[in-house]
Amino acid sequence: MKHAILLLSLFLPAAGADPPPLAIRNARVVTVSGPILKKATVVVKDGLIAAVGENVDVPEDAWVIEGQGLTVYPGLIDALSNWGIPEAAAPAAAPAGGRTSTTPRPAPSATPDPSAPPPARGPEDRPSNTSWQRAADLVKPTDRRLEAARSAGFTTAVSFPMTGIFAGQGAVINLAGEKAQQMVVASPVGQYLAFPAGFGFGGGGGFPGSLMGVFAYIRQMNIDADYYRQTRLEYEKRPAGARRPEYDRASEGWLESPRILLPATRAMEIDRVLRLAAELKKPAVVYGAHEGYKAADLLKKAGAPVLVSLNWPERSRDADPDQPESLRVLELRDKAPSTPAALAKAGVKFAFYTDKIERPRDALRAVRRAIDAGLSVDDAVRALTLAAAEIYGVAGQIGSIEAGKIANLLVTSGDLFQEKTQVKFVLIDGVKFEPAPETPPAEEVAR
């Protein structure tokens, strides 16, 4: 660890000073945005891609890397992540402002525990809502997971706060930087929504306690935010003589979300969230999507992009070996990796995300399963790079090897999805990082 940091500091730009240009010569270049260049040169300058092509001049002061036998890819993007947010657990959901209801609060018949927050009485209490929270403000370059991610070829992540129903605003971040500010590529890029409620049979918590409640809450939040925006506008036009609308950070957060991310694993859940998104009239991205192989047409019709989890469903190691498993579950496990191919075939835009896979390298192994299930290698690379950038509207900056884009590059010893292929180094904002030796996670060691 110490070594890595020391090494890093060698290459990290001092404030204001840019590193010298860098050129990778005679490498195979997978541009993603264009054709694969069999023997080309990529020139990086000022943290950007200065030039790419078969006949490109290498600046004289450039640090030249001989790329013979190497392949250059755009840096990989984890399209839904919390990398960079070390304490991925967001602050506890507390009732926030923005109460507009006149519901009389029924008097409790017993003395409640004074230390417990009062259970939410409805959407107006904004439970499990930190929609205003920005990943960009939470990112820290000290997150220990960044190095492992870089070592596996990832240069970028779209990171989100992930606690609660309205978890907060995501940011596209580069996975290295001296200061947090340097990491952020774009923010906010979307609101992360989750449906954490249980079955809702007599539970003790506040609102919402069921899937129905969560949906009702999201719907009301959307209405409230819109109402909030309108009343604010009206007030700003004519403040004199009017009552000041209460400030509502939950509405603020919702309003500034350019898109919403909705969870859905099964086809019927995809159908369900697409209907909700249509109702909300918000651009939506579906995440999870393991049964997307059944819902490709549906997604195509809705025009919703998809983030496919690479954490393919498998039987838990702790499962009872004799537990009868349903055909539905067995089929889902068998076919989930065919989702990317099905989406590609239907013309649905999709990107991959690592979804709690412990070792980032294993994410690439998971992609291989999708390739085995019919996904083309080109589409696989795209889903790890440009597609994610397009989904979040940052394709002008990252995701492919084009002159003018941010110099986020991955250089490997060969085809990305071959088991024996090694990550040689990555460039992030033009800064070179070499992979750390792979160490198994503690749990693996113990077994």
Partner 1 sequence: MRTLAWVLACALPLAAADNSLLIRGATVHTVSGADIAGGSVLVVDGKIAEVGVKVAAPKGVRIVDAKGLHVYPGLIDSGTQMGLAEVGSVRETSDVSEIGDFNPQLRAIIAINPASEHIPVARANGITSVVSTPAGGVLSGQAALVHLDGWTWEEMEIRRSAAMVLHFPFIETGGGRRSSESRRNVPFPEAKRIYDKKLADLRGFFESARRYRQAKLAALAGFRTDVKFEAMIPVLEGKLPVAIVAERERTIREALQFAEKEKIRMILAEPREAGKLASEIKARNVPVILGPTLAAPLNEDDPYDAAYTLPAELDRAGVKFALGTFANAFSRNLPYNAAQAVAYGLPHEAGLKAITLNAAEIWGVGDQYGSIDKGKWADLMVTDGDPLEVRTQVKQVFIHGREIGLDNKHLRLYQQHTKRP
Partner 2 sequence: MKTPLILSLALAMAAFAAPPVVIQNARVLTVTKGAFQGSVLIRDGKIVEAGEKVMVPPGATIIDAAGQYLMPGIIDAHTHIASESTNESSISVSSMARIEDAINPEDISIYRALAGGVTTAHVLHGSANSIGGTTAVFKMRWSKDAAGLVFEGARPGLKFALGENPKRSGSGASPSRTTPRYPATRMGIEDVIRQAFVEAKQYQQAWRDYQAKVKGGVQATPPRSDLKLEPIVEVLEGKRMTHVHAYRADEILMMLRLAEELGFKIHSFEHGLEGYKVAKEIVAHGAGVTTFSDWWAYKMEAIDAIPYNAALMMRKGVLVSLNSDDLNANLSTRLNTEAAKTMKYGGLNETEALALITINPARQLEIDKRVGSIEPGKDADLVIYDKHPLSSFARVQKVFIDGEMYFDRDRDVSGRAERELRKKALTDRQKEREKEQKKSFPTRRPS
Interface pick for partner 2 out of 92, 94, 268, 403 (rule CB under 8 A): 268
Under the criterion CB under 8 A, does residue 356 sit at the interface with partner 2? no
Bridge-based pairing of strands 409-412 and 423-428 is antiparallel
**Residue 17 phi, psi (nearest 5):** -95, 130
Q: Which two tokens stand for residue 58?
A: 């290498």
The count of C-alpha atoms lying within 13 angstroms of the C-alpha of 40, restricted to the half-sphere facing its C-beta, is 20
- Closer to partner 1 by Cβ: residue 91 or 205: 205
CB of 337 to partner 2, least distance (A): 10
Partner touching 231 among partner 1, partner 2, none, CB below 5 to 8 Å by kind: partner 2
Under the criterion CB under 8 A, does residue 279 sit at the interface with partner 2? yes
Under the criterion CB under 8 A, does residue 328 sit at the interface with partner 1? yes
Interface pick for partner 2 out of 100, 187, 338, 397 (rule CB under 8 A): 100
The count of C-alpha atoms lying within 13 angstroms of the C-alpha of 339, restricted to the half-sphere facing its C-beta, is 34
Say how far apart CA 294 and CA 240 lie, in whole Å: 56
Under the criterion CB under 8 A, does residue 91 sit at the interface with partner 2? no
Partner touching 101 among partner 1, partner 2, none, CB below 5 to 8 Å by kind: partner 2
Under the criterion CB under 8 A, does residue 198 sit at the interface with partner 1? yes
Under the criterion CB under 8 A, does residue 319 sit at the interface with partner 1? yes
Under the criterion CB under 8 A, does residue 1 sit at the interface with partner 1? no
Under the criterion CB under 8 A, does residue 233 sit at the interface with partner 2? no
Under the criterion CB under 8 A, does residue 55 sit at the interface with partner 1? no
Centroid of chain to Cα 128: 20
Partner touching 94 among partner 1, partner 2, none, CB below 5 to 8 Å by kind: none
Q: Which two tokens stand for residue 29?
A: 């270049």
Q: Which two tokens stand for residue 94?
A: 């507390």
In sequence order, the 6+-apart residues with CB closer than 8 A to the CB of 351 are: 77, 79, 305, 306, 307, 308, 383, 384, 387, 388, 391
Residues within window 320-339 making contact with partner 2, judged by CB under 8 A:
325, 327-328, 330-331, 333-334
Say how far apart CA 424 and CA 230 lie, in whole Å: 54
Binding site for partner 1 (CB under 8 A): 198-199, 201, 203, 318-324, 326-328
